Amino acid sequence: MPLDGRFAPMAERVAGLNARYRHHGATAVLEHALRDRDVGRVALVSSFGAESVVLLHLLSVISPHTPVLFIDTQMLFAETLAYQQVLAEKLYLTDIRTLTASQAAVSARDPQGDLHKSNTDACCALRKTEVLETALAGFDAWITGRKRYQSGTRAEVEFFEADGDARLKINPLAHWTRDDLEDYIVNNRLPRHPLVAQGYPSIGCAPCTSPVQPGEDPRAGRWRGTEKTECGIHFINGKMVRKTQEDAA
C-alpha cells in the first residue's frame, strides 16, 4: 500500500498494474500482486469446484498463508465439503475462512430451506452474494479464476480489473485455456473434485446442479430448466451484475 495509506484513483490503478505486469505469466502476476503496495490487502475466493485446484495450488506454492474465502451455502454437495478438506491438508493452506449466512438471516428469509425452489436469485443473494460482499469489506483486492476462454465479456479480461470504485479483482489465469488447466492438474498430480468424473464439469449447490451430457455446455447443469446462469458474486459498484451463460463464473 502507498506510504500515505491511500491508493490512486481506480482507473489509474488498474491501468498501471496491467501495464506493469502485461508480459508476466500467471505465477509471476500472483506472486507480485500479493506484495505490490498498489494492490493492498488480498484474499483468494474459491468455490473448491471443478477447476479451483489450479489457483489454490499456485497460491500454496507462493503464499500458503494468504486468506482463502470459501462460502459454504449449507447446500453444497458432501463431496465439495470433503474435497475442501482434502485440498486444505494437501496444499498446506493455513488460512481458509469458511463463510456462511447468519442463522438469523436464514431463519428470516429461508426458514424451510426451500427458497431455491421459488426464487433462485434470492437464495443465492442470501447464502452467497451477501456473505461474500461482507467478507470482502476487509480487503482491497480479491483473486478470481476468471479466464478469457470463457468468452463473452471475458474475452478481453485483464490480469487486473476494477470491482467497483474501491476494490480490485486479480485474474492470474486470465490467459489460460482449458488445455492449460488440464495440463497443470496432470503435471502436478493434483486431486480432482470427485464429481467431475460423474459428469459435473461445473459444480455449485446440490439442489441446483445436475450432470452434464456429452456435447452440452459445461455449465448446462447449473440451474437447469431456468433462465438463471450465474450466482452473482461479481459486482460492479457493489451490486450484482447479471451475465450470460458463457460469462458466468
Could you state, in order of their start, the residue ranges of all structural domains in the chain?
10-247
Residue 127 has a CB neighbour count (10 Å cut-off) of 26
Dihedral sign for Cα atoms in the order 82, 83, 84, 85: positive
Check 123, 124, 208, 231 and give the catalytic one. 231
What is the distance between the alpha carbons of residues 191 and 185, in angstroms, rounded to a whole number? 8
Residue 113 has a CB neighbour count (10 Å cut-off) of 12
CATH architecture assignment, domain 10-247? 3-Layer(aba) Sandwich (3.40)
Question: What is the model's pTM?
Answer: 0.86
What's the mean pLDDT when you consider all of the chain? 87
pLDDT digits (tens, 9 = 90+) for 156-169: 688 999 988 889 99
Residue located via cell numbers 442463522: 103
The strand pair at 239-240 and 141-143 is best described as: unpaired
231 as an active site residue: the answer is yes
pLDDT digits (tens, 9 = 90+) for 67-94: 999 999 999 999 999 999 999 999 999 9
- Reading phi first (left if > 0) and then psi (alpha if -120 to 50, else beta), residue 92 is in left
